[in-house]
Structure 1
Amino acid sequence: MNEMANGVMGIASMGFIAALVIVGLIAWFFINRASVRASEQIRLLEALLDEQKKQNALLRRLTDNVSGSEKKSAAEQQDQKDFTRLIPER
């Protein structure tokens, strides 16, 4: 009878250990999955930041060109109003 109780206790302890291992593996799976997803989101956010920096640089260049052309057109209008340009030098 004692041997039978020891055998049942051994099987129960093995089952308990197996259950703990399975629960541990499931927990590891979800923690690992969350970590990978977080890393992927960080990578995507960094790529988005790089794209925004490029777009900001392009926008800044575009606005500088527009403001520069407005300055040029204002200077050209001033030159057109200047009558000394019409008189040739001798």
Structure 2
Amino acid sequence: MNEVINSGALNIASIVVSLVVLLVGLVLWFFINRASSRTNEQIELLEALLDQQKRQNALLRRLCESNEPEKEPQTSPAKVQEKEDDEDLIRLVAER
């Protein structure tokens, strides 16, 4: 009779342990799945933000290029040398 009671208690204990392990596994799966889905959402948001920043940079480049003042034509080195010579002569003349 003791053997029947002991074997029944072992069966119930093994079933309880199995259910506890199953419950812990389901809880862990829930939190891991939840964290994974949040991470995926954050990645999608970051990719959308990156795309918007790229568009803004392109618009800013176009805006800067359109508002850029026109460059003055380059003067030849001979003209630059003449200007420097004129400035040197002015410095040599004594003021009264």
TM-score, normalised via structure 1 length: 0.75
Rounded Cα–Cα distance in structure 1 between residues aligned with 2:51 and 2:21: 45
Rounded Cα–Cα distance in structure 2 between residues aligned with 1:8 and 1:40: 48
Letter in 2 for 1:61: R
Rounded Cα–Cα distance in structure 2 between residues aligned with 1:32 and 1:66: 51
Rounded Cα–Cα distance in structure 1 between residues aligned with 2:34 and 2:45: 17
Name the residue aligned to 2:91: none
Rounded Cα–Cα distance in structure 2 between residues aligned with 1:3 and 1:27: 36
- Distance apart, 1:71 and its partner CA: 1.3
Name the residue aligned to 1:32: 33
TM-score, normalised via structure 2 length: 0.71
Over aligned residue pairs, what C-alpha RMSD do you find?
1.6
Letter in 1 for 2:44: R
Structure number with higher relative contact order (C-alpha < 8 Å, ≥ 6 residues apart): 1
Rounded Cα–Cα distance in structure 2 between residues aligned with 1:44 and 1:63: 28
Which structure has the larger Rg over C-alpha atoms?
2
List structure 1 segments (4+ residues) > 2 angstroms apart after TM superposition. Answer: none
Structure 1, unpaired ranges of 5+ = 76-90
Number of equivalent positions? 72
- Distance apart, 1:8 and its partner CA: 0.7
